[in-house]
Amino acid sequence: MTNSSDEIDLFEIFNILRKYKTSIFLILIFSIIVGLIFNFSFKQPYEVRIKTFYNYHPVSTFHECQFNQSCMDKKTDQFLISSLGFEWNKTKEFLSSISFEPLSEKEYFNLFANLNEKHMNQISKETYQYLDYINSQNLNENLQFDPTDIFFYSKKVIDEISLGTPPIIFHSLVIKRKFSAILIIVFSILMGLFLGVTQSLFRNQYFNK
């Protein structure tokens, strides 16, 4: 059985596997069936991912960040997460989430469109309030901030809103299973082969003893 000490040669391993080929085949079939049942019966996690691009930010964000684009983007990231729920993540330009019951593509775009509309209304209201405040002040007096940059930024935001430009662009939506059906079946086959070979070697060793 052995060439030296406890080493088993490949020819004998092949004979052992051939001897227990029926049990190996049955274990393999059982493993595939379990994989198919898992694939169709259990809820699978889906990854939802969409690209985002910011056209403009609220004036208050512009004021607070003092022209820092990275700071403004980060604050809008926080707004998105707090509005959509903390199961969402924002990494660079990608907004992503893991869901066992994802919405349809149309439902996701409706969700983002409603969010955009509410956000644009809030920005518009805030921008006019800033403009009214600046116009109501005597520019010869000392203000808590330089109104010039905020005034021009506010005008820019109003122009974008009047053109119907949304504050956030959502595009390239992807909804995909985290573990594909093919991957599950391949894993089932490999696991079935492993269990089949293992039980054959153990049975052979047991009966030889």
The helix/strand/coil state of 17 is: helix
Quick: pLDDT tens for 61-113: 998 998 899 999 999 999 999 999 888 999 889 999 999 889 999 999 999 99
Percent of the chain with pLDDT over 70: 90
C-alpha 12/C-alpha 204 separation (Å) is 11
pLDDT above 70 (res 143): no
C-alpha 119/C-alpha 84 separation (Å) is 12
Residue-wise DSSP of 162-199: HTT--SEEEEEEEEEESS-HHHHHHHHHHHHHHHHHHH
Residue-wise DSSP of 49-100: EEEEEES---HHHHHHHTT-HHHHHHHHHHHHHHHH-TTEEEETTEEEEEES
Q: What is the pLDDT of residue 77?
A: 94
Quick: pLDDT tens for 10-50: 778 888 888 888 888 998 899 888 888 877 777 788 999 99
C-alpha 150/C-alpha 134 separation (Å) is 9
Band of residue 7 on the pLDDT scale cut at 50, 70, 90: low
Q: Which of 76, 84, 81 is nearest to 57 (CA)?
A: 76
pLDDT above 90 (res 167): yes
pTM of the model: 0.67
Q: Where are the domains of the chain?
A: 10-43+180-201, 46-177
Q: What is the pLDDT of residue 67?
A: 82
